[in-house]
Amino acid sequence: MRLGMLLKFSGGPGGLAIEEVLEAERLGYDSVWSGEAYGTDAVTPTAWILARTTRIRAGTGIMQMSARTPACTAMTALTLQALSNNRFLLGIGASGPQVVEGWHGVPFGKPLARTREYIEILRKILKREAPLQHDGALYQIPYNGPGATGLGKPLKSILHGDPTMPIYTASITPAGLRTAGEVADGVLPIFLSPEKPFSVTEPLIEGIRRRPGGGTLTEIDIAPYVRIAMGDDLQACRDKLKPEFALYIGGMGARSKNFYNEVARQLGYEEAAAKIQDAFLAGQRKEAIAAVPDALVDETSLVGSPERIKDRLQAWKEAGKRHEVGSMLLSGVTRDSLRVVAEAVL
């Protein structure tokens, strides 16, 4: 099982945790990932990290598909791979309708169909077997729809890259995970429990079996986001993480389409998920935070003393042996917590 970390960056001087990244590289961590919502983008911090390091890989977790054409994403990936000696990891995702339509101003549409076509186009560009052509429901390349000049021609990337570059998706719904299992190389789930990974692994296996020749979980890197809060006061550590749980389960999406709320329900916390969402959408954030169960935090995160975290890591390592977790991507790290986890896992 590999180790990685998530980069938290909200802008401003010193906002990037470069000391933690350099410590992770020194300790033998495999990767560091940068995300985006509707503030900082995922690519710029990733490029900066690749420039400041020599061994650790860096990836986008994730680049929103609605913000970029597939060709633009491929150009970015090829460039970062070339500049970093193939240390770049490509993660893409659909985001949600509130961001896609409210920020980017484009239709949310059909995210599964978009994911499938997007990855198909990316692979065509990376392989360079022929000038790019694609005739899909969402993308036509060369474009020949309304307003087309008719002058577009199929093109092949000038830049050569790794045709087998792994592509990760931020799939969390059963249908999204089935699609990821069929067409992606890695998946970035949220709120995964090492004892109950079935809400992730079962649909992934269904998708993998649809591939030509089938396959098993070894075909895909399951790389969940795992929050960590280390300290002697267990309850204080749990409480430190609960606002983020409440935000995702209660407020990251509309009542009718909150994918993170669905994940909490799949883990067996239906009543708590409903209560968190009701309180959050009513503007009662303190009540939403208080409704986050300790057990949910304990199952999906690493909390408490160094000894407790090392004990808890046994369950994650067992999941790794079963190929149910390929990489643990730690969120909220400090240099001390990076070291504790590395000592227990690497």
For the chain, the average pLDDT equals 96
Backbone phi, then psi, for 154, in 5-degree steps?
-60, 135
Q: pLDDT tens for residues 312-336?
A: 999 999 999 999 999 999 999 999 9
Sign of the torsion formed by the C-alpha atoms of 187, 191, 193 and 199: negative
Residue 63 has pLDDT above 70, yes or no: yes
Q: Report the relative pairing of strands 140-141 and 134-135 from DSSP bridges.
A: antiparallel
pLDDT at 256: 86
> What's the length of the chain?
346
The widest CA-to-CA distance across the chain, in whole angstroms, is: 67
Report the C-alpha gap between 4 and 310 in whole angstroms.
Answer: 16
Report residue 13's pLDDT band, with 50, 70 and 90 as the boundaries.
low
Burial level of 243, CB count in 10 A (0-12/13-18/19+)? middle
Q: Return the CATH number of 2-230+305-345, one of 3.30.9.10, 3.30.565.10, 3.20.20.30, 3.30.1340.30.
A: 3.20.20.30
The torsion angles phi and psi of 298, rounded to 5 degrees, stand at -60, -40
Quickly count: other Cβ atoms within 10 Å of residue 308's Cβ.
17
Confidence of residue 12 (pLDDT cuts 50, 70, 90): low
Locus of tokens 């020194």: 26
CA distance linking residue 282 with residue 230, whole number of Å: 32
Q: How many CA atoms lie within 13 A of 338 on its CB side?
A: 24
| Cα–Cα separations (whole angstroms), residue 288 to 183, 215, 251, 307 | 36, 41, 10, 30
Q: Which residues of 204-234 are buried (b: 16+ CB within 10 A; e: fewer)?
A: bbebbeeeeeebebebbbbbbbbbbbbbeee
Q: Give the predicted TM-score (pTM) of the model.
A: 0.94
Supply 274's token pair.
């409903």
Tell me the pLDDT band of 252, cut-offs 50, 70 and 90. confident
E strand intervals along the chain: 2-7, 31-34, 57-60, 63-64, 88-93, 134-135, 140-141, 167-169, 186-187, 221-222, 225-230, 302-304, 327-331
Tens digits of residue pLDDT in 161-187: 999 999 999 998 899 999 999 999 999
Written as one string, the DSSP assignment of 201-237 is: HHHHHHHHTTSTT---GGGSEE--EEEEEE-S-HHHH
β-strand partners of 168 = 91, 186
Whether residue 117 has pLDDT greater than 70: yes
| Domain boundaries along the sequence of the chain | 2-230+305-345, 232-304
Phi, psi of 2 (to 5 degrees): -90, 160
Q: What is the pLDDT of residue 89?
A: 98
Token pair in block for residue 112: 């599964």
The pair phi, psi for residue 6, each rounded to 5°, is -100, 135
Question: What is the per-residue pLDDT for 257?
Answer: 81
* Per-residue confidence (pLDDT) for residue 219, from 0 to 100: 94
Distance CA 169, CA 274 (A): 27
Q: Single out the residue of 94, 54, 28, 59 nearest to residue 223, CA to CA.
A: 59
Query: Residues 136-165: pLDDT tens digits?
Result: 999 999 999 999 999 999 999 999 999 999
